[in-house]
Structure 1
């Protein structure tokens, strides 16, 4: 009977435990359902687009799609080359992202695909692993991790977090990445091979060390590519100079294939070849790729959101950053199974798409189909593309990323911005890029906290001419027993000790009996500073003195009330802010001070700052009162 009784007790406990889990699981399911519904990912916009699609819209979209596809072919190859991957991976990514993106995107202008930033991060991340992870076999797992990170971030509406990344960090990172791109392609332009190294300084040293082995035919072909590109940019600025330069130089180099010259050509892609990849999971790979995937997902979100917002401000059309983030996640997951490399929002292709003025978001879809068809049909022709020519175009792309005006603004605006830029830029040259991004963000946050962590505490006085004003250092108080301290700035945990110490020093004056903290311009009071206020109030009360607060805003009143600190201060000693006359609360605090001091009203003159109120028609202007 006892075992049977024990089993019944165990079953009862199990049922109670499972029953207790049901409300939590139901709440979690409702939360995910609500988050999904807020993204509006029911493909309704795409169905509506197809319903109203017309031949005129199709022609406009195909024109934009053709322009973008022409640019995507050489850029995809270039970005794959930057990442150290086979060139077809870049075109796979461009095609897949352009087909999957429109299913979820909110903007018709943003073009998804590989970018300089994601390519350099992939290159840097794998080099930093020191060959411990096989790049070709683990790439699909990396893409899957990036995609899941972006999808989860979109469901939890994390796109808003990208606004906390300083533009100075992005400028420093992109500038450092541009130098890394240029340095990593220089040996291809010279026709020499160097060992794989992970930082800018090591790449430069190895390139200089092997410069004596330069193959002059390759260097001459690089020079020809540069001249053709320059002529097209100056004579025909509206044409896709990168794609045409690559085509022209490949045609010019055809006779050189029949001569034994040391020129390296790209590997051909078999006709109709598009392999399906299945991500392989290995715990050792996961532990190595986790941090790289988070860095790539974060920067992809930052890059895609900034591009989308920039184009939205120019077009006047709304954009949902979380939907764009979800589209990026879906595109990366698709690339994990259909080949490719990490994708984000492309700045150059999105700008070209904006100039081309597509009618609908389907322009991206047609561009992806054109890329897929071109790759399947023209893959064998890649064997005629010289590597020095493609490397030269990659270097030119890297040079275009260096924005000297942005660098000048970052260096000269404030000392903090200059320091953040230099730290991010130098760390991008000397360390892996994912570490450089984290270091730049960390330094910018620390400098911001240092800046806001110094609240301004200024003593105020009053006179008949100016009313309430700042008191000079050598000026004595009109009433030695009363001190008015104007508090301005952020009152969060980092400033609690400084805030407490400054008030304590003021309170050392033996003649002082009442301190009024004027907090109309104080913000974000938290528990740490609330406790500091309570400690000050107790200290003053124990010595027979009083602490009053004037100009308390609603958030400050809410914190004081919810924490219970208002009871220690005394409800009669806290005076809320008045909207029309913001200094009436200080007047009321002075009246309360005279009451605490036991003085008659005639013994203390009450002043408050004059407030200019715009008079209505027919009314006299109210200049305040004393």
Structure 2
């Protein structure tokens, strides 16, 4: 009963362990998290094309639901950079930014994202995230980082630019307006960047972005930036966020669905990846399906509470863990602190210069790019390089949701290409001390028996791989016409579908017609069961299957080979070979 309830309400497992000590630790972690999310929430709302307050609204409801209904004790969900730029990209393709319809459409998108994630979690499809390779995520986030930086540069230099422009048009407009740069805005942006970097260098535990904002606000006050044309974020409305009703018109849902599905998958990939990364430090076990449910529920309910689509935040999750959080109650405390700020200090953002936010977002964009893995991919892996560059370029020049789909499709194509060409390797004994140790003939320069040839198949036998395997086997048979017995070592074969089973049957028949035989060695029980279910095992006959190479060699040499091919053979590479050299 408890196990069933824990799947619906996972917090019942850890809630009894909450005590005075954990509450104190969670309180301090929550305060730290609130300080960190204040500038980030505002920044991500601006990236998503929304007024600043929606970033704070999203930091209130979403983190609590995701933490209480997810499986990670430390991951913090809320506004995220890559997710925010996709929200902007998806909705702006349907509704013009800056309009009331845009905001309501964002809530519709958020609801769709949440329902998709919730459905995937309920269907226990946690393994779905594995279909998006890490290379796709790196390529997409790198492109998104460049888009984010491009969107904020006008704020940094203090000029106005048109909304919803493409990447090239945005840079063309930016260069055209470069002579109009407001150097006071540039000074404030550089102050925010410099102060953030210095505080981060002093200690990684300091709220670097918050300190950068304070430094920029101080400079803006000292130079009287308002009179010098510098724009400010403005005060956010005081009080609780109002309940919102997403626009559920069929036309809007139809237009948003491709982007919603891509955004749902991207959000899950980020959340699960972050939860697993934090779990390596905490030693906690992460349940992928439960994270799906937590993320889905958070976005679904959040869409009615003025929140936009969210995912896990690596920065805030890391801060939460480093600050000593013990339970998900830390996320609740952080939300309460943000709510208190909205209730009693809403005018604080009125003194926040827009160039300071722009500078902070530039740092966020810089940190989104995984330079280490990009260098590794470009240097060592050609196929992954193609996926990386294609996803990166597509992110810049096509709709963001389709860039994600394109990267996923390329990854799947690359996977299918690799699995459709399993390696077929000639193997021969390298050692006979305990048992016949078969190794790669070319790598270890081994001698092969003229009559019995062993080929190892490193890959599964399925419809996509059949032709390639047959081609490789035919090459070996052509190079060794004296071979009368072909033994396939199947230790690397994980499954055999109907096409693979039929291939084995056809190969056996062809060999018999030419006076030869086929044997399968080291076949896994699961693969053998698949041959049995297809009816092919019976057609291959029981003497076609052997547990080890030694079992096969003992059966062959003690019967037909001893009196035929072994006579006069001077190679004798198997320990089962007759001692008499004839």
TM-score (norm: length of structure 2): 0.88
Q: Residue 41 in 1 paired to residue 12 in 2?
A: no
Shift of 1:336: 0.6
Taking the aligned partners of 1:600 and 1:475, their CA distance within structure 2 comes to 20
Structure 2 distance, partners of 1:506, 1:231, is: 64
Aligned mates of 2:223, 2:431 — CA distance in 1: 93
Over aligned residue pairs, what C-alpha RMSD do you find?
Answer: 3.5
Superposed CA deviations along residues 473-517 of structure 1, whole A, max 9, x for unmatched, are 99997545x544333333222111122233345556776544332
Separation of aligned partners in 2, 1:291 and 1:64: 38
Higher Rg: 1
Residue 516 of structure 1: aligned partner = 487
- Give the counterpart of 1:492 among 462, 474, 493: 462
Tell me, which stretches of 5 or more residues in structure 1 are unaligned?
1-32, 611-622
Aligned to 1:317, the other structure's residue is in SS state: coil
Aligned with 2:492: secondary structure?
A: strand
**CA 1:276 to 1:569, structure 2 compared with 1: closer, same or farther past 3 Å?**
same
- Secondary structure of 2:304's aligned partner: helix
Q: Please, which of 567, 572, 594 is the counterpart of residue 560 of structure 2?
A: 594
The Cα offsets for residues 383-409 of structure 1, whole Å up to 9 and x where unpaired, read as 222111111111112112223222222
Q: Which residue number in structure 2 is paired with residue 149 of structure 1? A: 116
Is residue 250 of structure 1 aligned with residue 220 of structure 2?
A: no
Structure 2 distance, partners of 1:235, 1:511, is 74
SS of the equivalent of 2:491 reads: strand
The CA distance in 2 between the partners of 1:156 and 1:624, in whole Å, is: 57
Name the CA distance, whole Å, in 1 between partners of 2:161 and 2:103. Answer: 20
Q: Structure 1 residues 111, 260: CA separation in 2 closer, same or farther (over 3 Å shift)?
A: same
Alignment of 1:34-183 (within 5 A): 39-41=7-9, 43-45=11-13, 47-49=15-17, 52-54=18-20, 56-129=21-94, 131=96, 134-183=101-150
The equivalences for 1:602-613 within 5 A come to none
Count of residue correspondences: 572
Residues 188 and 219, structure 2, Cα contact 8 Å, conserved in 1? no
- Aligned mates of 1:329, 1:463 — CA distance in 2: 55
Shift of residue 379 of structure 1?
A: 2.0
Does 119-128 or 505-514 show the bigger shift? Answer: 505-514
How does 1:399-414 map onto structure 2 within 5 Å? 399-414=366-381
Correspondence for 1:290: 257
Q: Flag the 1:238–1:598 CA change in 2: closer, same or farther, 3 A.
A: closer
**1:211 and 2:178 are equivalent in the alignment:** yes
> More deviation in 201-210 or 601-610?
601-610
How far residue 77 of structure 1 moved from its aligned partner, in angstroms, is 0.3
Structure 1 distance, partners of 2:578, 2:127, is: 46
Give me the whole-angstrom Cα distance separating, in 1, the residues matched to 2:403 and 2:87.
Answer: 14
In the other structure, the counterpart of 2:534 is 563
The answer to whether the 8 A contact 2:425-2:455 is kept is: yes
After TM superposition, the structure 1 stretch with the greater mean CA deviation from structure 2, 119-128 or 533-542, is 533-542
SS in 1 for 2:233: coil
1:335-387 deviation line (CA, Å, top 9, x unaligned): 11110111111100011011101232211101111111211222233222211
In structure 2, do the counterparts of structure 1 residues 548 and 212 end up closer, same or farther at CA, with 3 Å as the change threshold? same
Equivalent residue for 2:207? Answer: 240
Shift in Å at residue 530 of structure 1?
Answer: 1.2
Matched-pair contact (CA < 8 Å) for 2:140–2:391: yes
Instruction: Return the alpha-carbon distance in structure 2 between the equivalents of residues 524 and 411 of structure 1.
Output: 33
- For 1:84 and 1:497, locate their aligned partners in 2 and report how far apart those are by CA, in whole Å: 52
Contact 1:217 1:263 in 2 (8 A): yes
CA deviation digits over 1:99-141, x for unaligned, max 9?
3233213322111111112112112222444749942121111
Deviating more after overlay: 518-527 vs 249-258: 249-258
Equivalent of residue 325 in structure 2, options 343, 353, 358: 358
Name the residue aligned to 1:342.
309
Name the CA shift for 1:489/1:100 in 2 (closer, same or farther; >3 Å).
closer
Alpha-carbon separation, structure 1, partners of 2:508 and 2:311:
54
* Alpha-carbon distance in structure 1 between the residues aligned to 2:167 and 2:424: 47
